[in-house]
Amino acid sequence: MSTETMNQGVSRRRFLAGMIATTAASVIGGSLLAPRNALAASEMKPIMDRHVLSGSHWGAFRAKVVNGIWVETVPFEKDKHPTDMIQAVREVVYNPARVKYPMVRLDWLKHGFRSDTSQRGDNRFVRVPWSQALDFFYHELERVQNEYGPSALYAGHTGWQSVGKLHSAGTMMMRAIGLHGTYLSKAGDYSTGAAQVVLPYVAGAMEVYEQQTSWPLVLEHAKTIVIWGSDPVKNLQVGWLVPDHSPYAYYEQLAEKVRRGEIKVIYVDPVVSETQKMVGGTQIKLNPQTDVPLMLAIAHTLYTEQRYDKDFIADYTTGFDKFLPYLLGVNDGIAKSPEWAAQLCGVPADEIRKLARQMASGRTQIIGGWCLQRMQHGEQYAWMLVVVAAMLGHIGLPGGGFGFGWHYNDAGAMTSTGPLMSGFSGVTGVNPIHNGSYRGYSPYIPVARFVDCIENPGKTIQWNGHDITYPLMKMAIFCGNNPFHHHQDRNKMINAWQKLETVICVDHQWTATCRFADIVLPATTTHERDDIEQYGNHSNAGILALPKVVEPMFEAKDDFDIFRELCRRFDREEAFTEGKSQMDWIEHIYNGARLQGRGLGVRLPNFKKFWDETGFVEFSGGQPWVRHESFRKEPDLEPLGTASGLIEIYCKTIADMGYDDCQGHPMWFEKNERSHGGPGSQAYPLNLQSTHPKHRLHSQLCSSTEHRATYAVADREPVYLNTQDAKSRGIRNGDVVRVFNDRGQVLAGAVVTDDFMPGVCRIHEGAWYSPLEGGKPGTLCTYGDPNVLTQDIGSSRLAQATSAASALVDIEKYTGAVPAVTGFHGPSEVTDINPLFPAMDL
Ligand SMILES: Nc1nc2c(c(=O)[nH]1)N[C@H]1C(S)=C(S)[C@@H](COP(=O)(O)OP(=O)(O)OC[C@H]3O[C@@H](n4cnc5c(=O)[nH]c(N)nc54)[C@H](O)[C@@H]3O)O[C@H]1N2
Ligand SMILES: Nc1nc2c(c(=O)[nH]1)N[C@H]1C(S)=C(S)[C@@H](COP(=O)(O)OP(=O)(O)OC[C@H]3O[C@@H](n4cnc5c(=O)[nH]c(N)nc54)[C@H](O)[C@@H]3O)O[C@H]1N2
Ligand SMILES: [Mo]
């Protein structure tokens, strides 16, 4: 959180608290004020006040519930750095985009899997009873398995869902569908798709999700911290589990050390980040997508000025000799010198040398983000960052080396000595009913290629040393994720989607994925069911009960019950539940941790006491820890997980794959779209960042009306752009603008700011796709989904990861009549049809 938002946070919280207490009904909105039992309760009983301690991806909180209605949210007192987003969580339950009932798309109800799929996205739906929706679901599973086998059924696509060890929506889906039959699954993720494939070859581990060196040690030992394309202060607001936000205390201490001149912090970023605003330090403004040239030039300087650690290179790495000819330009005649890099990255050669010398002058901690590997050739950035760190020789020392996960999951906080809970499992050990052949197709696909797969069945691509032949996908199930926000090139996606016969979406918000589905099932939010979760991610600070805050709205059901009832239709209910109720499962999960705790010498109260009385157990802090320390101390006994056990500057395994776009050592590859004079910049001059939102978790909270009003500009998602770029286009702060390229067009609200360098603009990912004409490829998005503009290509043959961050656009002031935003109001319900008369052929 920046100081700016922290200050605003307090006053906004007070303001909201006062407002909600007095006008709960008007704030929440009449039609949504009718949770099933709450209204009845309020008619009969006197005012009932409860305070419920619970948690979310945004942190823990106490919910004030009056007469069955959640009216106020107070951050958990143990969270010293709560995010403002916590105030928007309540709205997730009440906002107008709630999925209220099971819904079936009009033409699918009429014609089943033979429906006119070009109508998908027109948002016309019919309400059906739960039993009918689940019957359709089951019959479609049967049909697809019998007719095509598992490769036609895509059910492995998961996402950010909600916290809770039991109600993991994606796990529920995979467990239930897996009991019915095998299916097509995915490999990798959108977050770190390139880094998680290349880094195991280079550094022996994924590196991205792992704990980092404890902050107290970094603060004590680092002389220089280089934050490379990362914004921890923005991104640590959320966590995969309930975050405790404890690292913010260290960022405050870092800010103090920067003020006193004790640590130098350098940001390599085209944008002044939230971290820079809070911590201070200096920015190296480089042209987007040119980080690898800058890193090569740092390596070139370290080598030619003999500032690199020869002993470290000799003792802990392999392949420097094979990389050196490339660095020096022996074969291609191009030395990767600061002068060479300066032309690409726009950073003057002298400044590059100064940076290299600063990094070599003492202990240097490099903090690398993930946006840079969400690009074409994103593997090269991750690999080259390790090479620079190896040349500096500080890997495995406190306050030195590289780390790729500092902005994620409370990283750098001390890990407690407490036990870890295991969750509900996606596999059961019970054989599926259908276990057909994949018929020569791959049983999995690299996740970010899934639309390419739908579009091009039978095509063979290379991935990480394997050939992947795309199957003919007929049916897809999404639960706890939102592909119509997270996937790139929306218009390509809309076209490809027409090839699918049946799409099922389980969610509690009427997202664009619901619009483009055939059967939509309403799930409860975390706050309408009981669950349990870890408090603190890497810190593992304790265990938190997540008791139900309010009763389920409308006809929402828990994912557990949805899939249990689906399993009942093929006689696998018992296998799904293992004979346990939800509460049995929660107790079982807790007791697993309790038992583990005994082994660790950590005593936990019995479940009843935990659940009924405290709802929270806290674990005591652990010992400071240094990443890669054991490897540094004993490289023979504690080798890395690479082929050689050493850091691989040259990797034979990758070289032997023979890919032209990812070779045996890190290299600079020109991008197919790059701003600042790069390819495509004549037509579309602006680099489009679609980094992670300051005010949301992806698309989650975008449908929270009040919260959206705190950051939207002219009702649209903000697009941030530089003053000069705005001026030359006649754009002023607050204008509605059209952002466009050959792939599509969106409206957005202009925020003119010199925090962004010229030629760089940003729309945060997760802005809801809001088509002017639903289902029509190329139509204007009325709210500002950046994935209308991004390109859908693999990073390289190695990882086939998303290249969302390689996109160019232009912006113009929008002069037409500004249409209303279309995305947040749920389906257009068609009522003049008898839902019990589907002409479909089951
Ligand atoms: N352009 C661009 N695109 C990107 C990125 C980028 O940087 N730029 N980043 C990528 C990255 S790193 C990621 S991780 C993805 C994230 O992509 P997603 O994981 O798809 O994003 P979310 O918005 O979190 O979607 C979660 C969905 O689950 C629903 N949900 C929440 N709780 C429950 C529940 O209990 N049950 C059910 N059934 N549903 C629930 C929410 O309402 C929401 O619709 O986006 C990717 N897309
Ligand atoms: N608030 C919030 N926090 C989140 C999330 C969220 O949705 N909201 N999502 C979480 C998830 S799932 C993930 S995967 C992580 C994502 O973590 P990251 O991918 O690391 O985060 P981003 O915010 O996309 O981008 C980080 C920084 O990269 C910079 N950048 C962009 N292009 C370039 C470039 O060409 N060169 C350089 N040097 N820098 C560049 C941006 O300006 C930004 O400061 O965040 C997590 N944290
Ligand atoms: Mo992510």
> Which one of the ligands is nearest to 373 CA?
2
Q: How remote is the CA of residue 269 from the centroid of ligand 2, in Å?
A: 11
Give the model's confidence band at 835: pLDDT under 50 very low, under 70 low, under 90 confident, else very high.
low
- pLDDT, position 45: 52
Residue 320 pLDDT exceeds 80: yes
pLDDT in tens, 305-316: 999 999 999 999
Residue 462 forms beta bridges with which residues?
A: 467
Residue from 269, 381, 700 whose mutation best tests the ligand 2 pocket (most atoms within 8 A of CB): 269
Q: How remote is the CA of residue 699 from the centroid of ligand 1, in Å?
A: 6
Cβ–ligand 2 contact at 247 (below 6 Å): no
pLDDT in tens, 119-130: 999 999 999 999
Ligand 1 binding pocket, CB closer than 6 Å: 159-162, 167, 169, 190-191, 374, 479-482, 485-486, 506-509, 511, 523, 559, 690-692, 697-700, 765-766, 786-787, 790, 804
Cβ–ligand 2 contact at 184 (below 6 Å): no
Q: How remote is the CA of residue 192 from the centroid of ligand 3, in Å?
A: 7
Lowest-confidence pick of 17-21, 382-386, 423-427, 684-688: 17-21
Lowest-confidence pick of 10-14, 104-108, 225-229, 418-422: 10-14
- Whose tokens are 């997540």? That residue is 546
- pLDDT, position 48: 74
What's the mean pLDDT in 220-241?
98
Report the atom number in ligand 1 closest to the C-alpha of 487: 47
Residues 622 and 209: their CA atoms lie apart, in Å, by: 19
Residues 298 and 304: their CA atoms lie apart, in Å, by: 10
HSE value, Cβ hemisphere, 13 Å, CA-based, for 373: 31
Q: How remote is the CA of residue 567 from the centroid of ligand 2, in Å?
A: 39
Residue 402 pLDDT exceeds 60: yes
What's the mean pLDDT in 30-54?
59
What's the mean pLDDT in 120-144?
98
What's the mean pLDDT in 741-747?
98
Residues 230 and 238: their CA atoms lie apart, in Å, by: 15
pLDDT in tens, 49-85: 889 999 999 999 999 999 999 999 999 999 999 999 9
Q: CB neighbours (10 Å) of residue 732?
A: 12
Cβ–ligand 2 contact at 268 (below 6 Å): yes
What single DSSP character describes residue 348?
-
Give the model's confidence band at 40: pLDDT under 50 very low, under 70 low, under 90 confident, else very high.
very low
List domains and CATH numbers for the chain: 3-188+437-536+542-593 (3.40.50.740), 205-409+638-657 (3.40.228.10), 686-813 (2.40.40.20)
Q: Which stretch of DSSP H or E encloses residue 559? A: helix 559-568
**CA distances from residue 306 to 134, 299, 302, 600 in whole angstroms, order as listed:** 68, 10, 6, 48
What's the mean pLDDT in 697-701?
98
Residue 39 pLDDT exceeds 50: no
Could you tell me the pTM of the whole model? 0.95
CA 278, 282, 285, 291 dihedral sign is negative
pLDDT in tens, 81-90: 999 999 999 9
SS3 718: strand
Residue 72 forms beta bridges with which residues?
A: 64
pLDDT in tens, 602-611: 999 999 999 9
> Which one of the ligands is nearest to 559 CA?
1
Residue having the nearest C-alpha atom to atom 16 of ligand 1: 486
CA 705, 711, 714, 720 dihedral sign is negative
Mention every residue, 6+ apart, whose C-beta is less than 8 A from residue 786. 688, 690, 746, 763, 764, 765, 767, 807
- pLDDT, position 15: 34
- pLDDT, position 20: 36
Mean pLDDT over each residue of the chain, to the nearest integer = 94
Residue 163 pLDDT exceeds 60: yes
- pLDDT, position 836: 55
Residue from 278, 371, 696 whose mutation best tests the ligand 2 pocket (most atoms within 8 A of CB): 371
- pLDDT, position 528: 98
- pLDDT, position 153: 98
Cβ–ligand 2 contact at 378 (below 6 Å): no
Residue 297 pLDDT exceeds 50: yes
> Which one of the ligands is nearest to 803 CA?
1
Residue having the nearest C-alpha atom to atom 14 of ligand 2: 191
Residue 626 pLDDT exceeds 60: yes
What's the mean pLDDT in 515-520?
98
Residues 826 and 664: their CA atoms lie apart, in Å, by: 50
* Gyration radius of the chain over CA positions: 26
Cβ–ligand 2 contact at 693 (below 6 Å): yes
Cβ–ligand 2 contact at 229 (below 6 Å): yes
Strand pairing category for 475-479 and 153-154: parallel
Residue having the nearest C-alpha atom to atom 8 of ligand 1: 690
- pLDDT, position 782: 98
Cβ–ligand 2 contact at 369 (below 6 Å): yes
pLDDT in tens, 536-566: 999 999 999 999 999 999 999 999 999 999 9
Q: How remote is the CA of residue 230 from the centroid of ligand 2, in Å?
A: 6
Residue 517 pLDDT exceeds 60: yes
Q: How remote is the CA of residue 372 from the centroid of ligand 2, in Å?
A: 8
- pLDDT, position 834: 66
> Which one of the ligands is nearest to 482 CA?
1
- pLDDT, position 832: 83
What's the mean pLDDT in 430-447?
95
HSE value, Cβ hemisphere, 13 Å, CA-based, for 432: 20
- pLDDT, position 49: 86
SS3 84: helix
What's the mean pLDDT in 144-161?
97
Residue 356 pLDDT exceeds 50: yes
> Which one of the ligands is nearest to 232 CA?
2
